[in-house]
Amino acid sequence: MGLGVGIALHTYTLSGVNNILTVGDARWLSYEMMLRNLSLTPKGVLYVFGGLPNPGDYLVSLGGVYEALRLLAAVISAVLVPWAVFKAFRYSNDGMGFFGSFVAIAFASVFFLYVTTTIPDMNDAVQSSRYLLPSLFLGLIILLMSPIDRFKAPFSAISTIFIIVFFITSGYQIFRLSGKEVLPAWGQPGQYNPHKKSLVNFLISQNLEYGYATYWNAGVVSVLSDEKVLVRQILIKNGIPVPMKHLSSNRWYRPEARHGETFLLLTDAEAKLIEWEVLEAYNVKPDRSYEINGFNIYVFKDNLANHLPGWDAHFEVPFKFIPNEYSLRKLTLKRHKPKPEISAIIIFDGGNHEAI
């Protein structure tokens, strides 16, 4: 029932959203690529169980010994979890049998797609291991719940005790590495640190309620401000901001989404990518700007969607595409000086939806 309802909801949802190709548009892999995915699957399993050593670290050292124990615990977990799920079917307890069958079906269905289709990007097997995480984690729970006779199965008992002790003692190390003061915990350079709410408070104090930023700095501001400031994700392409149609809505980028001031929230590196002359040609010029916490805030008198090309795909009002250095062009070859010539300027008449 869960699979059936999930497939129906998934299909209905994808029919109305801006989807990305690899996951929602899955394709079969060639036999050779299936073998590649299969060979990289153990890497993802070891990562889920915390057993991948850091490449380049010294073996003969305190850290090297610790990583060896991590690897051993992960290998033991990868062996014992399937064994525990199999044993769950042999218990007289119907609850364990149901739990085991749920884990087995969840893993088998995901594993089939994981190996045979384009859904996982196995160029990064570690990131793709997230698809296996739910079923492996539930399998680990079954292992830790399973009764073990230490006399009839001493190896299983000792191994289970070892991984229990390891996971308990490694908890502090994981906690220490995930602290908010640790820079790698926040992903990419220039990504907004949510523990520093001064940026959000500044936007609220300036009555800046609607703006645009790159993907990793957009949604987090909307959430932390309790939607008092809505920031929509954009890309910078050919020197101008364009909508990022991933996990987004077309409504966000239409003129009626915001009447009044809007802003761009950019890092120093992102601000250098903006071609301000091109924006001015579209009558887009910031009224004022601010700098805070390594971010540049450019405030505009109205919604950028009123002026920039490609934002509102409805074209309900006339719109002019202004040629610039990135525009399509035709070169007329001559003997001496080749001269680029603009072949056409396209003006959309919103009333008739015609291109003149």
Based on the domain organization, do 18 and 165 belong to the same domain? yes
Based on the domain organization, do 260 and 355 belong to the same domain? no
The reply to whether 2 falls in a domain is: no
CA distance 210 to 257: 9
pLDDT value at residue 37: 96
Q: Both tokens of residue 120?
A: 């996982």
Extended beta strands in 70-209, E state: none
Mean of per-residue pLDDT scores for the chain = 85
Task: Decide if 113 contacts 94 (C-beta within 8 A).
Answer: no
Mean pLDDT for the stretch of residues 347-354: 52
Based on the domain organization, do 65 and 93 belong to the same domain? yes
pLDDT value at residue 93: 72
Based on the domain organization, do 302 and 170 belong to the same domain? no
pLDDT value at residue 196: 65
Based on the domain organization, do 320 and 236 belong to the same domain? no
CA distance 102 to 113: 17
Question: Whole-model pTM?
Answer: 0.65
Residue 242 has pLDDT above 90, yes or no: yes
Residue 189 has pLDDT above 70, yes or no: no
Residue 137 has pLDDT above 50, yes or no: yes
Residue 356 has pLDDT above 50, yes or no: no
Residue 154 has pLDDT above 50, yes or no: yes
Burial grade of 260 (CB within 10 A; 0-12, 13-18, 19 or more): exposed
Residue 355 has pLDDT above 50, yes or no: no
CA distance 240 to 233: 13
pLDDT value at residue 147: 82
The reply to whether 270 falls in a domain is: yes
Q: Both tokens of residue 328?
A: 């399509």
The reply to whether 186 falls in a domain is: no
Based on the domain organization, do 254 and 160 belong to the same domain? no
Residue 131 has pLDDT above 90, yes or no: yes
The reply to whether 191 falls in a domain is: no
Q: Beta 339-341 vs 347-349: how paired, if at all?
A: unpaired
Based on the domain organization, do 19 and 157 belong to the same domain? yes
The reply to whether 5 falls in a domain is: no
Based on the domain organization, do 25 and 161 belong to the same domain? yes
Based on the domain organization, do 264 and 291 belong to the same domain? yes
Where does the pLDDT of residue 186 fall: very low under 50, low under 70, confident under 90, or very high at 90 and above?
low
Residue 345 has pLDDT above 80, yes or no: no
Return phi, psi of residue 347, to 5°: -120, 125
Based on the domain organization, do 217 and 173 belong to the same domain? no
Extended beta strands in the chain, E state: 210-213, 230-237, 240-243, 262-267, 288-292, 295-300, 319-320, 330-332, 339-341, 347-349, 354-355
Based on the domain organization, do 306 and 342 belong to the same domain? no
Residue 252 has pLDDT above 80, yes or no: yes
Domain that holds residue 153: 14-178
The reply to whether 74 falls in a domain is: yes
Per the structure, the count of domains in the chain is 3
Based on the domain organization, do 257 and 353 belong to the same domain? no
Strand, helix or coil at 348?
strand
Strand, helix or coil at 202?
helix
Nearest CA-CA partner of 301 in 317, 288, 314:
288
The reply to whether 189 falls in a domain is: no
How many Cβ atoms sit within 10 Å of the Cβ of residue 155? 11
- Residues 257-295: tens digit of each pLDDT: 999 999 999 999 999 999 999 899 889 999 999 999 889
- Residues 204-234: tens digit of each pLDDT: 999 999 999 999 899 999 999 999 999 999 9
Q: Residue 252 carries which side chain, given as an amino acid letter?
A: W
- Residues 142-152: tens digit of each pLDDT: 998 888 777 78
DSSP string, 48-104: HTT-PPPTT--SSSHHHHHHHHHHHHHHHHHHHHHHHHHHHTTSS-HHHHHHHHHHH
Helices 94-116 and 62-88: crossing angle, nearest 10°? 120
Extended beta strands in 135-287, E state: 210-213, 230-237, 240-243, 262-267
Residue 100 has pLDDT above 80, yes or no: yes
Tell me which of 152 and 316 has the higher pLDDT.
Answer: 152
The reply to whether 152 falls in a domain is: yes
Where does the pLDDT of residue 20 fall: very low under 50, low under 70, confident under 90, or very high at 90 and above?
low
